Amino acid sequence: MTRLWYGGDYNPDQWDESVWKEDADLMRQAGVNLVTVGVFSWSSLEPSPGVYEFGWLDRVLDRLYDAGVSVDLATPTASPPPWFSRLHPEALPVTADGVRLTHGSRDTYCACAPGYRSAAVGIARALAERYHDHPALAMWHVHNEYGTTCYCSLAAERFRSWLLERYGSLERLNAAWTTAFWSQGYSDWQDVQPPRRTQYLVNPTQYLDYRRFWSDELLAAYREQKAELRALSSLPITTNYVFGGWVPVNHAQWAAEVDVVAIDHYPGRTDLGAEEQTAFGADLARSWAGGNPWLLMEQAAGALNDGQRLHPKEPGRMARNSLSHIARGSTGSLFFQWRASRGGAEMYHSALVPHAGPSSRIFREVVALGAALPSLAEVADAAVVADVAILWDVECWWAMQGTHLPSSSLDYLAAVQDAHRHFWRAGVTVDFAGPSADLSSYQTVVVPSLYLVSDEAAASLAAYVEGGGQLVVGYFSGIVDPDVQVRLGGYPGAFRELLGVRVEEFHPLPADGEVELSSGGRGRLWSEDVEAVSAEVVDRYVGGVLDGKPAITRRQVGEGTAWYVSTAIDFETAAGIYDLSPSPVETVRRRAGDTTWTFYFNHGDAQVDVPTDGVELISGARVDGSLLVPGGGYAVVRSP
Ligand code: GAL
C-alpha cells in the first residue's frame, strides 16, 4: 500500500506514563502513522554503563503498535549520557580554539574518539537485538543530524591517516597544499594538524581537506551502526540530514549509504523567503536521492525562528509547506516534535501538540492535514518533472568558506539560492545536480559560482553543451582545481575555451554596490574584465572602468549554447536569458505512466485561475478547464 508518512519525533521518556495513552489517542485522531522514537534517549535507555532499561520502550512500542502507529526507531548516539563523558573525558570535543567542551547540551562528543565509537555501536547493537522483530518497526534512524567537527588530538591522528590515504606521501601533500607558501612545508607527519585557530589566514586546501575528512569519518561512524542494525533487520535504515554551513557532510555522497534520503528543514526566513527556502531544501533533497522518493524527517509545526525570535506560522502555512515537500518528492511530512516539552533547552519549540494542548489552532490544523494526506498518497512514486538543473557541489561550498577569497561577499550558497529563486519566482521547478551528473535530459543547466571544479566535471559540462544543451555559467566559476590551485592562463580557467571568454582581472564590487548593464538590468557583488574571445556579447557593463566591456556572453557550441554571466544578475536579466515571467503560482509536475499530477501553490494574496483539467485530489472535485486557487492556497490536480 502506498502511503505518505505523517508524524514526527516522539519523546515519551520526557513524560509520565499517564500521558502516553492520550498521545496514542491523539495520534490516531490526527492520522499520525510514523513516529521517531528514542532519538535522544540514551540516558533513559542506559542510565549507567552497561545497565539497560528497555521496559519503558517496550511499553511505548507496544502501545504505538496497538494504535496503528509505525516506528522509526532511532539510535540515541547524538547525545551520550553524562556518565559516558565522565568515563571518557578524551571524547569531549575540542573547538578550533583549543577549548575542550563540557557536558551539558547535546552533540558533545568527538566522533573520532574510539571510546565514543564503541559505545555508539554498543547501544545500536543493544537496540537491534531487542527490537529487530518488533511489529511496530518500519524504519531505523541512525543518530541525529550528523554534523559535528572536533579539533582534538584524536581527530588530528585520524586526519593524518586520511591524508596519507589521499595523498600517499608528504611530498604530494606539500604540493597539493602549496606549503611552499609561508614556510608550511611538512617533513614529518606528526606536524600535520587540523586547521585550528592560527595567527592569520588559514591554508585553503588544509581547510577543505578537513571538511572532506570529517565527511568520511562521520560516514564511517554511521556505517558501523548501520552494520549492527543490518545484521538483524532488513528494514530501511536512514539518518536525518541537516543542511548548514557548519556541516561537514557530503550529503550527495552519503546517499549511497542510506536506504532513504531523509532531511530536516527549518527555514531561516519567515516571510515569502521561507516558501522559497522550502522549495530549495526539497529540490536539493530530491537531487541527493537521485530523483527517487525521499522523506522530510523534521520540520516545525508552528513558529519559525529567525535567530532572534519566534515568528508564528500563519494559518495554513504548515500544510502548504508540507505539500511543497511532498510535491517535490517527499514521501511524507514529519515534525520535531509530537508534544511540546515542558522543560529543557527546546521547551519553546513548536510541536504538533502545543503547550496549550489539543484544543489549539495548531492541533486542529494537524488533524486537518492528517485527514487530507491519504488522498495524495497516489503521487508517492511519481517522478518530479524538471527541464532545468542547477549545479550544486558541496566541496565548492566548503572551498568558498575558506579565508582566501578575493571578496568577502562571495557566497556560494547565496549564488545558488539566487539562481534557484529566479526560477522559483517564475513558478518553474528545477532539479539540482552534482558536478559529474548526467545532464542530458535537461534543456538548461545553470552553474552558479562553481569556483572549484575537477577536470572531469568540466569535461562533462562541455559534453552537455556539445550534445545540444544550454549551459549558463555564473561569475567566479572554474577558477581552481580540487587542490584549490588556480587554473592558469586567465579565468574562468576550466571553462575558458567552452565559453569563449578570457578574464584577466576580477573587479569585486562593494557589498552594497551595483553596476548598470546595457540591457537595463543591474549586477551586484562582482564584476570582471571579460574579453569575448570567440563568444558573442549579449550584455555590457555601463559606466566605471569596465564601461562597454562584456558582462554577459553567449557562444554556440555544436547544437548547444554556452553562456557566461560575469556578475550577480537581477531577476529581470535572468528572465531575459531563460525566458521567464514572474508568477505568483508555483507549479510542480509529477508523472507516472500516462498520468500527471500538478501541484499549484499560490504565493500571492489574490486568487488565481489556472487552466487545467482533471480531478483535484484534496476536494475530490472535477476540474474542467479552469481551477481557482485562492491566495495562499494550493491544489493538486490529477490529469490523464
Ligand atoms: C533539529 C533537531 C531536533 C530539534 C530541532 C529544533 O535540527 O534534529 O532535535 O533540535 O532541530 O528545530
Identify which of 106, 144, 247, 305 to mutate to test ligand 1's pocket (most ligand atoms within 8 A of the CB): 144
Percent of the chain exceeding pLDDT 90 equals 97
pLDDT at res. 307: 82
Residue 497, C-alpha cell as written in the block: 575555451
pLDDT at res. 1: 53
Q: Give the C-alpha separation, 532 to 511, whole Å.
A: 27
Q: Give the C-alpha separation, 558 to 469, whole Å.
A: 9
Which residue has cell 565509537? 117
pLDDT at res. 306: 82
> Domain 586-639 is in which class?
mainly beta
> In angstroms, how far is the first alpha carbon of the chain from the final one?
22
pLDDT in tens, 534-567: 999 999 999 999 999 999 999 999 999 999 999 9
Average pLDDT over residues 140-151: 98
pLDDT at res. 305: 80
The residues with which 8 forms a beta bridge, in sequence order, are 35, 335
Average pLDDT over residues 420-429: 96
CA of 372 to the centre of ligand 1 (A): 26
pLDDT at res. 206: 98
Would the CA dihedral through 260, 266, 267, 270 be positive or negative?
Answer: positive
H or E segment to which residue 371 belongs: helix 361-372
Give burial (CB, 10 Å; 0-12/13-18/19+) of 483: middle
How many distinct helices (H) and strands (E) make up the chain?
Answer: 17, 31
160 pLDDT higher than 60 = yes
CA of 120 to the centre of ligand 1 (A): 20
Is 298 catalytic? The answer is yes
Q: Is 144 in the pocket of ligand 1 (CB under 6 A)?
A: yes
CA of 9 to the centre of ligand 1 (A): 9
Average pLDDT over residues 459-476: 98
Q: Is 141 in the pocket of ligand 1 (CB under 6 A)?
A: no
pLDDT in tens, 348-386: 999 999 999 999 999 999 999 999 999 999 999 999 999
Is 346 catalytic? The answer is no
Name the DSSP letter for residue 523.
E
Question: Domain ranges in the chain?
Answer: 388-569, 586-639
Coil vs helix vs strand at 23 = helix
Average pLDDT over residues 456-479: 98
pLDDT at res. 207: 98
2 pLDDT higher than 90 = no
Average pLDDT over residues 58-75: 98
Identify which of 107, 265, 295, 298 to mutate to test ligand 1's pocket (most ligand atoms within 8 A of the CB): 298
Nearest ligand 1 atom to the CA of 305 is 12
Per-residue confidence band for 290, with pLDDT thresholds at 50, 70 and 90: very high
Average pLDDT over residues 326-339: 98
Distances in whole angstroms, Cα of residue 135 to Cα of each of 55, 73, 138, 295: 16, 12, 8, 21
Specify the fold of 388-569. Answer: Rossmann fold (3.40.50)
CA of 215 to the centre of ligand 1 (A): 20
Q: Is 265 in the pocket of ligand 1 (CB under 6 A)?
A: no
